[in-house]
Structure 1
Amino acid sequence: MYKEKAKNIARYKSLSKAVSLLTEKRNTATLTDRGYLKRVWNEIAKSENSSDRKLNSYLSKDTIKRWELFFDSIVTTRQPKHLKVAYLCGPDPLNDLNVLTELGVLQENIWAIESDKKMYETAVDVLLAADFPFLKIIKSDFKSFIEYTPIKFDIIYLDFCDTIYSKRDGPKNLEAITAIAKFQSLASPGILITNFALVSKEQDEKGYKLLSKLTAGYLYPKSFLEFKETGRFGDGVEAEGIYDEDFFNIVEGDLAPYYSQFITRVIMDIFCLNVQIDRFMNHLKQRNLFFDKLLYKSKPRYLLRKKIESLFAFQPNGGGGDIFVDHGSWALPWSFAYYLGLILITEDDEEMAEHGPKFVNQLISYSKNGKDFFEKIAAFYYLKDEDSHLEIFYSDSLKKIAKDWRAFEKHIFCDVFLFHQLKDLLIRQVSVPYHINIGKSKRWRYKAKETEMYMDMLVFDECRYLYDWMPTIDMLKSNLANIENELSFRYILDAIGKHKRWYFDEFFSGTVVIDQHTKGFKVKALRKRREIKS
């Protein structure tokens, strides 16, 4: 497999594009580039709307320049020799190593990881014979390596050559990806490259059916999906009038285009949502900055639990709790509830009863088990929403800001900036999630012998040029009337919103400053997965 032409092309394409993005094209690897704030200001300055032009004038050129200098301090220039890389090496580490060093990465900055004893010993012999004495090679599974080695890597390349969810014993692929996000092991900006297989019915009928069920359960509640024919994004299956059981049959009948999306969306959600939410809800002091009334046996905690239970109040006529009537806004809780058996699509499904919870467990970063993980994510989804009844859970600091937030008194540009959007920003400021650069991420598909392979090159960014630019929660209370501050971070947020538009209903919904169809400010969409021929 490693010597096949298609495999070599995929390897070179992904690694060369990754190195280029993090060096010569580094200014495009971030969701917001250095000139974005100024471009938004210039665009609104020529608007036909006099009210928008007047508001825009409150943002001074001095503030724009100050943010650009701040951006430079966050996003520093790099050359290939500065990049640090980690990869799964297998018995022949030279395949990837030769490409990386050809691209200018120093062997001293490369870590090769292999868990199998025989493969590791073979790889060591190969490296020594090939005169690569300074490359670091470690006998370990990747998850454990990430946990005990606090290094940030610019590029992490995980060539699993296995399905995204595997029933076999040993290290789990998704656990390694979850660990990378949990321990912030990817630099910012940084690139994760993964390679997963898709088994056919002929190769493994039970495995194929299980993957179909996992895939359908993950994609069904999403608001937007890729059209399999064109790769463009459109409304999710619910909007098309397709019910869950019907969709499951559709996916099983033609798994490949849906599995392609499943891989990408799962990894995106791990980095952008799962780990951040799990971290926030399990770190008491961090959570208490915003929601400090959830003490054990307290009334607010009891009310929160009852509210979460009501979300799953199913009614046979299609009504019920929010999770049933608004799938898109509750996509992850819906999927996790399905995997854990709280939502039954078909009765007596022993395969899903066993492997659904195992799949959820591979996504856990801080929670005790799958049920605990699900309950905390569902609670977070409710707490982050826009609802006057939520104040019973708020800390005094958050309550003060909520009381003084007058979104409708100053209708700014395309969307009204509501309190839940500000709450999103403040929470993410301290919980430090990654964001995905949709415009620069790329995907490929090729065949290795008889197996379909799916390679993703996903570009991630912590966006600290936004979060560190904002005041923290108690500093913000005195800045609510400072329209220049609001304008500056809203202009930056516009760019981030253009990347999440088709992929995440969960955060920053309604943060557009400039219409998404405006030239130079268009919404981003993943490019169709490219097929590599042998």
Structure 2
Amino acid sequence: MDYQYNQEIKNKSREKLIKHAIKSLTTKRKQSFLLTKEHFSKITDHFNSLLFSTKEWNELDFEFRNQYNWLFWGGKESWSKFYDSNCKPKSVNDLKVLYLSGPEPYNDIDVLCSNGIRLENIWAIESDKATYEKAVKSLVNAGIQIKIHRGNLSEFFELTNHEFDIIYFDACSPILSPQQSPLETLKQIFLNKRLSGLSALITNFAEPGDNYNWGEILAAWFGTRDSLDNPASDDEFGGIAEKTEFYKEYCQLINSHLPEYYDKFITSFIPTLGSEIIPMWQLTSLGSVQSNHLLNEQLLSKELKSIRSYECQADTTNDFIRNVQHFLLAIDAYPLLNWARIIRETFPKNHPLNIFLNSNRRKITIEDALYIGSLLKRFEEAQTGFKTFIYNVCGDKLKETMMALDFFDRHMRITCDTPMKNLLVELLIGLYGYPYIAHAGKNLSLKYKAKETSMYSNVFIFDQCRYLYDFMPTLDLWESFFQNLANQTIIRGCIDGIRRNHFQLNTSLFKWGFIEGVYGNEFGQAMLSDRVNLNDDI
């Protein structure tokens, strides 16, 4: 497709996207972290006020309560210094940027440099030989020296060691495209940690083409998720049960509201890819994690095959409920597992989503990782009598630790959410998987029409949240770490802030992690803004 690179509407979009990214990482940097020290202080003070007002707490030994206070204030001061070491300011001169060159690389360079980015910190990538030669010629004629590389973007991310504050991925194709493979590029960005600890990913995708049944593609995603994650039109159809029973009709509904669903898919899928999908794959493909906390490679592979091929045998309704896979009874409790399952069962092997899910790393595929991670997050269900398969992928040491640990206030019921064991699993995933978690309030979504094609542009501001994950020791030390109740309060404060500012992008991350609700109080939540159509201003 021949896109006009110098169109007024394209330039307007580029200007808005780049300015927002730079501002979020510099002058508004403090507010771009998912957790601020101000919120941490307010929410942990609130937690302690709830705790100190309970009968159970006041019946405890005075010395114990006094020690908690002493440990909490000392721990809070220490954590605050650790936070500062992870969340340092940056000026625009410090920002490193990568973008796709195209034949006219100066368009992006002009906007970047006029907003303070140094030429020395700019990389441009172009894979097509003729386009690359044209780009180099234009740079030579303009007397501009940047780093321009001819090659594949996915390979560049996979095999080089560069880290960027801003990556501008102007795919100019739909998010699923057999020719350009945008999913592979996104995968390599997160897998190889090519974004810095607080960073901006700018994406630009074309509207869906007619080469796929997009209703089926998007139904696999939205038909497995909490209704809060879905477009408004979803309310017309009903809940998970209706979507499962009338799947073809649900696909038709999506096709009739395709721009709305496609918009929402881009805005929710990319943050989930960075915060859950790739981190689960990172954790489970690590051989030492398999041997120490899961099962050895052969056993794990055998168990996963058994889970996928399991067929329920039942003569009565009660038998069916006891013996059917729990992830089929509670589909939205296992959204990523069921998304992967539907794709494998429904789409051809050469479909881009199946190719993506079959990406293999040390004999663990992304699909494998989504099964393992999703099952572990539902550890609470392991002893309910349902067919959960949780213990099938869980090693003895991990099982022992998970059964031994709980947040100390769990049965006191003092917070909005009762903290469940999924929080522990997600802390483990974060420790090893290095998630990138997007800030809903910092998301910028634009739409414009280039020639005859509508384009969907986003700026995602990602925070790696190492002020939480690196505060934790490794799993074998968790029991002693959790014995210090002040450590638990610090963790709860971090989780609350992260979830509060990510919630509108993905409700399943750190589920049951709120200390206080999001409505009717001073804490609130980050609000996701609607996509702005730039053509409306013309």
Q: TM-score, normalised by structure 1?
A: 0.86
The 8 Å contact of residues 81 and 104 in structure 1, kept in 2 or not, is answered as yes
Partner of 2:448: 446
* Paired residue secondary structure (2:480): coil
Name the SS for the 1:509 alignment partner: coil
Alignment of 1:455-534 (within 5 A): 455-504=457-506, 506-533=508-535, 534=538
Q: Quick check: 2:44–2:489 contact (8 Å CA) kept in 1?
A: no
Corresponding residue for residue 146 of structure 1? 157
Q: Closer, same or farther in 2 for the Cα pair 1:465/1:314, shift >3 Å?
A: farther
More displaced, 503-512 or 446-455?
A: 503-512
Calculate percent identity across the aligned residue pairs.
26
Q: What are the superposed Cα offsets for residues 140-194 of structure 1, whole Å, 9 maximum, x if unpaired?
A: 12101111211110000011111111133xx421111110011000111111111
Q: Deviations over 1:266-325 (max 9, x none)?
A: 21222112211222222211333422x34525xx87556544544888999997433333
Q: Which moved more, 1:441-450 or 1:242-251?
A: 242-251
Q: How does 1:71-470 map to 2 (within 5 A)?
A: 71-133=83-145, 135-168=146-179, 171-199=180-208, 206-207=210-211, 209-224=212-227, 238-239=239-240, 241-242=242-243, 243-291=246-294, 293-294=295-296, 296-297=298-299, 305-310=305-310, 320-340=324-344, 342=345, 344=346, 352-353=347-348, 355-356=350-351, 358-362=352-356, 365-367=359-361, 372-385=365-378, 386-388=380-382, 390=390, 394-395=394-395, 397-407=397-407, 408-470=410-472
Equivalent residues of 1:83, 1:154 under 8 A apart: yes
- Compared with structure 1, are the counterparts of its residues 268 and 316 closer, same or farther at alpha carbon in structure 2 (3 Å cutoff)? farther
After superposing the two structures, state which structure 1 stretch, 462-471 or 33-42, moved more. 33-42
| Unaligned runs of at least 5 residues, structure 1 | 345-351
Q: Which amino acid counterpart does residue 398 of structure 1 have in structure 2?
A: L
Which ranges in structure 2 are unaligned for 5 or more consecutive residues?
A: 59-64, 384-389
Aligned-partner SS, 1:161: coil
Deviation readout 1:440-480 (Å, 9 max, x if unpaired): 11111111111110001111111100011122212222133
Q: Which moved more, 1:514-523 or 1:188-197?
A: 514-523
Q: What's 2:61 paired with?
A: none
Q: CA offset at residue 395 of structure 1? A: 4.5
- Asked if the contact 1:195/1:456 (under 8 Å) is kept, the reply is yes
Please say which of residues 68-77 and 259-268 is displaced more in the overlay: 259-268
Between 98-107 and 250-259, the greater mean CA deviation after superposition: 250-259
Q: Given the superposition, is the C-alpha separation of residues 304 and 383 from structure 1 closer, same or farther in structure 2, using an over 3 Å criterion?
A: farther
Task: Report the alpha carbon displacement of residue 79 of structure 1 after superposing the two structures with TM.
Answer: 0.4
Aligned amino acid, residue 12 of structure 1: E
- Which stretch shows the higher mean deviation, 406-415 or 99-108? 406-415
| Residue of structure 2 in register with 1:347 after alignment | none
Output the CA distance in 2 between the equivalents of 1:45 and 1:160: 48
Which amino acid is 1:8 matched to?
N
Native 8 Å contact 2:436 2:463 kept in 1:
yes
Cα distance between partner residues in 2 of 1:333 and 1:376: 9
Change (3 A) 1:178 1:312: farther
Query: In 1, are the aligned partners of 2:334 and 2:375 still within 8 Å (CA)?
Result: no
Q: Residues 161 and 237 (structure 1 numbering): CA distance in 2 closer, same or farther, change over 3 Å?
A: farther
Is the 2:44–2:490 contact (alpha carbons within 8 Å) kept by the matching residues of 1? no
Change (3 A) 1:467 1:48: closer
CA distance in 1, matches of 2:257, 2:302: 45
Structure 1 residues 235 and 497, CA gap change in structure 2 (3 angstroms): farther
Aligned equivalent of 2:387 = none
Aligned 8 A contact 2:377 2:422 in 1 = yes
- Cα deviation for residue 47 of structure 1 reads 5.3
Change (3 A) 1:403 1:325: closer
Moved more, 103-112 or 468-477: 468-477
* Match status 1:12 vs 2:32: no
Q: Would the aligned equivalents of 1:84 and 1:154 in 2 still touch at CA under 8 Å?
A: yes
Q: CA deviation at 1:30?
A: 1.3
Contact 1:224–1:236 (CA under 8 A) maintained in structure 2: no
- Length-normalised TM-score, structure 2: 0.85
Alignment check: 8 A CA contact 2:25 2:32 kept? yes
AA at the equivalent of 1:325? L
Counterpart of 1:21 in structure 2 is 24
Tell me which amino acid in the other structure corresponds to 1:80.
V
With over 3 angstroms needed to count, the CA separation of the structure-2 counterparts of 1:314 and 1:69, relative to structure 1, is farther
Which whole-Å deviations, capped at 9, do the CAs of 1:369-389 have from their partners, x for residues lacking one? 9x9432342133213322445
Equivalent pair of 1:59/1:488 in contact (CA under 8 Å): no
1:32 aligned to 2:25? Answer: no
What's the counterpart of residue 386 of structure 2? none
User: Helix, strand or coil for the counterpart of 1:24?
Assistant: coil
Stretch of structure 1 that moved more, 218-227 or 448-457: 218-227
Q: Report Cα offsets for 1:232-255 as digits up to 9, x if no partner.
A: x97995259443211100111231
Q: Residue 112 and residue 374 in structure 1: after superposition, are their counterparts in 2 closer, same or farther (change >3 A)?
A: same
